[in-house]
Amino acid sequence: MEGNFTYCNPTKLYFGKGAVKYLKNVVLIYGGGSIKRNGIYDEVRKILLENGKTVSEIAGVMPNPTLEKLYEGIEIARAAEADLLLAVGGGSVCDYSKALSASVYCEEDPWEKYYVKFEEPSCKTLPVGCVLTMAGTGSEMNAGAVITNRKTMQKIGHVFADESLMPRFSVLDPSYTLTLPHYQMAAGIYDIFNHICEQYFSGTDDNTSDYIAEGLMRSLLHSSRIANRDMKNYEARSNIMWTATWALNTLISRGKTTDWMVHMIGQAVGAYTNATHGMTLAAVSLAYYRHIMPYGPEKFKRFAVNVWGIDAAGKTDEEIAKAGLSAMEAWMKELGLTMNITELGADESMIEGIADSTLIMTGGYKTLTRAEIVEILKESL
C-alpha cells in the first residue's frame, strides 16, 4: 500500500431489529410519505414525544433533493431553533439533512459556497442523526451531501471534510428496508456495487483496501441474488444494508486515488432526467468500464477472477477481463436494472448538455476527455 492517510469515522451505529428505541432528540426530516405508509413515522414520533421532545418537521424531501428545498428547510430549521436534524429516509433525506446542517447559519449562498467553491462551513453546524430506510448511498456514515440545482442543470455532491457534518448517529434496522419497491431495492444494490467499483478501479499497488472491496462485492452479489428472488429475506437484506455502509464510509478508499467517473456521468444524467440515482449508474456503467478496461487491464483481470469467479484457464488476459464484465452485465440484467439512459428519459439532444454537466475526475485509470464522455453517453443511449 503506497498512499498515506488519516482515518476517522465518528458516526455511532445502532444496528438491528428495534434499534430505533435508542433515539433521543429533533427537527424530523423525511421524504414523500413512505415512512407514513409503513409505520416508521408513527414509531419515531412516538419515541420522540414520549421523551418530551419538541418536534417540528420538514416533509417532502424528494429523491435527488433540490436547492429550492434546501432554502425552504433553512427557514423551518431557523424558526424551530433546531438543535438536532433527524433524517428518516434514504440517501436523499440523509444528504439533505447534512446540507441543511451546514446551511442553516451560513451567511453566504450555500450553493455558491459548498457546491461551486467547495468550501467548508465557517458557521455553526447542526448535529444530524439518521434513521435509514433504504440501503444504498452510505450517506448514513459519510460526509457526502448531493444537491440538485434545477436552474443550472447540475447535480453535485460535496463530501465535506468537516467531520461534524457526518451523522452523529445512524439507526440501521434492516426490517425498515423491507417495504422498498423492487426497483428501489435493485437501484440501491447497484449503487452499493458501483461505490465499491469506483474505489477499486484505481491504483496499481498492492492495497488491503482492494481485498476488502472484493470481499464486500462477493457478499453483495450473494445477498443480492437471494433478495432478488425473495425480497423479504431479512438475512440477505441485513447483509446488503451493512455492505452499503462499508462500501462508502471512507474505509476502502484509504490509500487509493479512486475513480468516480461513473458517478460523475450518472449524476449529470440525473440532473437532466431526475432519474433514480442507482439506475443512472447502471445505465452508463458498461459503456464506461469497457472503455477504460484497456487502461487498467491487470485490475480488470483481477476483478474477473476474484469477484466473478471467471476460470482463467486457456484465456488471454483480455478475454478474462472481458468475461468479468460480461458476468457483471448478466448479473445486472438478472436484477432488472435499467441498462440504458434512453429508458431513463435521456435522448440524443441532451448528450452535449450532459457532457458539459459532467465533472471530470483524474483518479481512475484514464482521465476522460469531453469527447470520450460524449462517446460513452452515445453508447449508453
**Interacting residue ranges for ligand NZQ, rule: CB under 6 A:** 31-35, 38, 63-64, 89-93, 95, 133-134, 136-139, 142, 144, 146, 157, 176-177, 179-180, 184, 188, 191, 248, 263, 277-278
Please, which residue, 173 or 191, has the CB nearer to Zn ion? Answer: 191
Query: Which residue lies nearer to ligand NZQ by CB, 245 or 310?
Result: 245
CB of 273 to ligand NZQ, least distance (A): 13
Which is nearer to ligand NZQ, 265 or 321 (by Cβ)? Answer: 265
Residue with smaller CB distance to ligand NZQ, 203 or 278? 278
- Residues that bind Zn ion in the complex, under the rule CB under 5 A: 191
Q: Find which of Zn ion, ligand NZQ, none residue 48 binds, CB within 5 to 8 Å per kind.
A: none
Sheet containing strand 12-15, edge to edge, reads: 12-15, 169-172, 128-132, 85-89, 27-30, 56-58
Tell me the closest approach of the beta carbon of residue 189 to Zn ion, in angstroms. 11
Cell of 171: 439507526
Q: Which amino acid belongs to residue 116? A: V
Nearest residue by C-beta to Zn ion?
A: 191
Choose the one of ligand NZQ, Zn ion, none that binds residue 121, judging by a C-beta under 5 to 8 angstroms depending on kind: none
Residue 91 binding result from Zn ion, ligand NZQ, none, given CB thresholds of 5 to 8 Å by partner type: ligand NZQ
> Which is nearer to Zn ion, 125 or 273 (by Cβ)?
273
Cα distances (Å, whole numbers) of residue 263 to 83, 191, 197, 315, 379:
33, 9, 11, 31, 17
**Cβ of residue 65: shortest distance to ligand NZQ, in angstroms?**
6
Give the residue among 171, 158, 64, 188 at the shortest CA–CA distance from 128: 171
User: What would the grid cell of residue 4 be?
Assistant: 498515506
Nearer Cβ to ligand NZQ, position 31 or 296?
A: 31
| Residue 33 beta carbon to ligand NZQ: minimum distance, rounded to whole angstroms | 5
14 with 23: CB under 8 angstroms?
Answer: no
CB closer to ligand NZQ, 60 vs 294: 60
User: 177 is in the binding site of which of ligand NZQ, Zn ion, none (Cβ under 5 to 8 A by kind)?
Assistant: ligand NZQ
Query: Measured from the CB atom, is 129 or 188 closer to ligand NZQ?
Result: 188
- Strand 169-172 versus strand 154-159 pairing type: unpaired
Residue 38 binds: one of Zn ion, ligand NZQ, none (C-beta under 5 to 8 A by kind): ligand NZQ
| Minimum distance from residue 247 beta carbon to Zn ion (Å) | 9
Grid cell for residue 210? 482492494
d(CA 330, CA 79): 51
CB of 316 to ligand NZQ, least distance (A): 34
The bridge status of strand 128-132 relative to strand 12-15 is unpaired
49 sits in which H/E element: helix 40-50
Residue 299 partner contact from Zn ion, ligand NZQ, none using kind-dependent CB cut-offs of 5 to 8 Å: none
368, 202, 215, 218: which is closest to 298 by C-alpha?
202
- Nearest approach, Cβ of 361 to ligand NZQ (angstroms)? 13
What DSSP line would sit under 260-311, residue for residue? -HHHHHHHHHHHHH---HHHHHHHHHHHHHHHHGGGSHHHHHHHHHHTT---
DSSP structure string for 86-101: EEEESHHHHHHHHHHH
